[in-house]
Structure 1
Amino acid sequence: MVFKDSPAIYIQIALYMCEQILLKKWKSEEKIISIRDLGEMIEISPNTVQRAYDFLQQRNIIVNKRGVGFFIDPAAEENILSFRREQFLEYELPDMLRNMYLLKIDIKQVEKLYEKFVKTNFLNKK
């Protein structure tokens, strides 16, 4: 996993895990990789991974079954969508809209690019 300068690494780990759930690679109520194993796999301190797991637990995306491990919460997908939509609309979309305005990019042009992106990256994947 390649990390960026921002946001914090634990947030990037949490977002990666959320993406796996939204892409249905990790399924509802399925057991997920342990903190130690994930830390070793991505070469990150277990303390940082623990912060990501805590972050996801607070948002009811994963649940800790004591002595057994961490599992995907049954409502994880709904909770992820709610959280990510809120983050996108508040932090990412305003910058995009500002740039579209400044660069005189028409919304119809963006719509066509969006449709092509979805078709290319998601609809033809099995």
Structure 2
Amino acid sequence: MSQWNDREPIFLQIRQRLIAMILSGEAQEDAALPSVRQIATDLAVNPLTVTRAYQSLTDLGVVESRRGLGMFVSPGARERLLVHEREKFLSEEWPRLSARIEALGLDIQDLLARKPS
């Protein structure tokens, strides 16, 4: 069973896992993705939760439903996700990180010296 972050809806956490699969290359373009039922069973969640995660990725144009076959990674999905995730990071996460870095008096050399491997 999976550990869930109580601060974020489960469908968004599933969505992020699917995004990570696409960005890492684990799920290639035109490749079939796990079925809604398979993910729901593996993660012990309601199939509607998984459907909602897939729908949000369909809305982004990175996943497509093929009638009778299932869900597939759309052509160009990785590039679209890179653009989307970079913009999301810069607009949502970076302002908080930047403010924290400034509040701590850190500079670029401090950050690069502690770069995780």
| TM-score w.r.t. length of structure 2 | 0.93
Across the two proteins, how many residue pairs are aligned to each other?
116
Structure-2 residue corresponding to 1:56: 57
Distance 1:12 1:44 in 2: 12
| TM-score w.r.t. length of structure 1 | 0.87
Structure-2 residue corresponding to 1:124: none
Relative contact order (C-alpha < 8 Å, sep 6+): which is higher?
2
Identical aligned residues as a percent: 28
Give, in angstroms, the shift of residue 112 of structure 1: 3.2
Structure-1 residue corresponding to 2:106: 105
Distance 2:82 2:50 in 1: 22
Structure-2 residue corresponding to 1:2: 3
Structure-2 residue corresponding to 1:92: 93
Structure 1, unaligned runs of 5 or more: 121-126
Counterpart of 2:79 in structure 1: which amino acid?
E
Counterpart of 2:80 in structure 1: which amino acid?
N
Structure 2, unaligned runs of 5 or more: none
Runs of 4+ in 1 over 2 A off after TM superposition: 111-114
SS of 2:79 mapped into structure 1 = helix
SS of 2:7 mapped into structure 1 = coil
Across the aligned residues of Structure 1 and Structure 2, the Cα RMSD in angstroms comes to 1.1
